[in-house]
């Protein structure tokens, strides 16, 4: 089988994509791109024999490239993804893979036109050993019926929207950018779909910064199974980056902590919980690329399927709409 020739655009977290690609024997990292020449030089220097490009079209339009990893700013993802697909390339794109529902529909259309092409996105919490272990426990029936699920994306990096590029984009959504991770996590863990959301939001933490959207959003969720839950996105918290997770099943309760998690199987205060000390987050940001490459080459399934990519962002579109309208919103899966 010939090697997949890969280009990476955007070299912040994209450096991790490049590292992952460089380690996959079935891939050849052929080009890295960043429009910031200083960053480009610094990162390209770590990958000898790899072409350094300042302009994304040099990768997107290169007919010898099979797969593009896109880790540019959020507002570039749609046009870069579409252009790559139109030129016959597979795409691994950072989250949020697009900003607006119409864009998601356009990408979907293009993928239907090109069933030979694959797309995935970096919903990386799925690779956390803590959550992989938890999912196995759920699948093995340890939780009984899950009836209540809560997750928060506690970003703890307010400056990313008050000072960085995120807050300077014409549209930036904390829900799309951060909430998508926990929307995916909840649906993946529970093997369920969120049907309806009811959200509120505020921007007190970033008040006066010029940031034009909510920095804090909380949504009540209704799942297809009948379970209910809550999803929070909190960019302003005075708390190191953390994913709160609480799952309540008829047989067990899971609470995530930083150094360990707790699995309770009894309401008796004298029965201690099981301590789960699996690594959290404990994951390399390029880890999902391995299974995606295998899927492209017909050697298995991508851990994050195309369906999953569209589903998690569809939930976020609904949460964003609900928070702004003040009304419950049914999730329309793109």
Ligand X SMILES: NC(=O)c1ccc[n+]([C@@H]2O[C@H](COP(=O)([O-])OP(=O)(O)OC[C@H]3O[C@@H](n4cnc5c(N)ncnc54)[C@H](O)[C@@H]3O)[C@@H](O)[C@H]2O)c1
The residue ranges that bind ligand X (CB under 6 A) are 9-13, 33-36, 39, 56, 71-74, 76, 94-95, 122, 124, 165, 177, 285
CB of 75 to ligand X, least distance (A): 8
CB 137 within 8 A of CB 218: no
Residue 200 half-sphere exposure toward CB, CA atoms < 13 A: 1
Residue 201 half-sphere exposure toward CB, CA atoms < 13 A: 30
Q: Which residues pair with 70 in a beta bridge?
A: 9, 93
Q: Is 313 helix (H, G, I), strand (E, B) or coil?
A: helix
Report the phi/psi class of residue 208: left, alpha or beta, with left for phi > 0 and alpha for psi in -120 to 50: left
Nearer to ligand X, 211 or 223 (CB): 211
Report the candidate in 155, 311, 309 with the shortest Cα–Cα distance to residue 233: 155
First to last CA, the chain: 34
Q: Which residues pair with 151 in a beta bridge?
A: 231, 245
Q: How many residues does the chain have?
A: 334
Nearer to ligand X, 76 or 221 (CB): 76
CA–CA gap between residue 306 and residue 134 (Å, rounded): 23
DSSP state of 266: -
Nearer to ligand X, 165 or 326 (CB): 165
- 289-296 and 14-23 helices cross at what angle (nearest 10)? 60
Nearer to ligand X, 55 or 204 (CB): 55
CB of 164 to ligand X, least distance (A): 7
Nearer to ligand X, 101 or 196 (CB): 101
- Give every strand in the sheet of 67-70, ordered side by side: 51-53, 27-33, 4-9, 67-70, 90-93, 119-121
Task: Calculate ∠ Cα 38-7-56, nearest 5°.
Answer: 60
Closest CB to ligand X: residue number:
12
CB of 283 to ligand X, least distance (A): 9
CB of 299 to ligand X, least distance (A): 23
Nearer to ligand X, 261 or 283 (CB): 283
CB of 288 to ligand X, least distance (A): 9
CB of 86 to ligand X, least distance (A): 17
Nearer to ligand X, 137 or 152 (CB): 152
CB of 123 to ligand X, least distance (A): 7
Backbone φ, ψ for residue 113 (5° rounding):
-75, -25
Nearer to ligand X, 67 or 76 (CB): 76
CB of 168 to ligand X, least distance (A): 11
CA–CA gap between residue 217 and residue 234 (Å, rounded): 7
């Amino acid at each position: 089988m010939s090697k997949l020739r890969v280009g990476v655009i955007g070299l912040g977290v994209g450096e991790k994509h490049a590292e992952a690609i460089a380690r996959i024997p079935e891939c050849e990292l052929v080009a890295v791109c960043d429009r910031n020449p200083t960053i480009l030089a610094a990162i390209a220097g770590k990958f000898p024999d790899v072409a350094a490009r300042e302009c994304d079209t040099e990768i997107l339009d290169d007919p010898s490239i099979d797969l593009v990893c896109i880790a540019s700013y959020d507002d570039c993802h749609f046009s870069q993804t579409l252009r790559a697909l139109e030129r016959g390339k597979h795409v691994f794109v950072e989250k949020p893979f697009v900003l607006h529902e119409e864009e998601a529909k356009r990408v979907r259309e293009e993928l239907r036109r090109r069933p030979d092409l694959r797309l995935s996105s970096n919903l990386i919490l799925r690779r956390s050993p803590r959550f992989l272990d938890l999912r196995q426990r759920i699948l093995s029936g340890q939780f009984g019926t899950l009836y209540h699920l809560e997750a928060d994306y506690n970003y703890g990096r307010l400056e990313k929207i008050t000072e960085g590029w995120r807050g300077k984009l014409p549209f930036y959504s904390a829900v799309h950018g951060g909430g998508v991770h926990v929307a995916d996590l909840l649906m993946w863990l529970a093997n369920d779909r969120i049907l309806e959301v009811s959200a509120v939001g505020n921007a007190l933490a970033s008040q006066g910064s010029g940031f034009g959207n909510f920095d804090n959003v909380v949504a009540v969720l209704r799942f297809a199974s009948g379970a209910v839950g809550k999803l929070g996105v909190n960019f302003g918290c005075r708390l190191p980056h953390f994913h709160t997770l609480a799952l309540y099943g008829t047989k067990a309760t899971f609470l995530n902590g930083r150094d360990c998690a707790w699995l309770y199987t009894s309401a008796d205060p004298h029965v201690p919980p099981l301590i789960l000390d699996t690594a959290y987050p404990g994951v390399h940001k390029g880890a999902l690329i391995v299974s995606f490459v295998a899927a492209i080459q017909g050697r298995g399934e991508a851990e994050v399927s195309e369906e999953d990519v569209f589903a998690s962002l569809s939930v976020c579109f609904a949460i964003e709409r609900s928070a702004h309208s003040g009304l419950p919103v049914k999730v329309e899966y793109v």
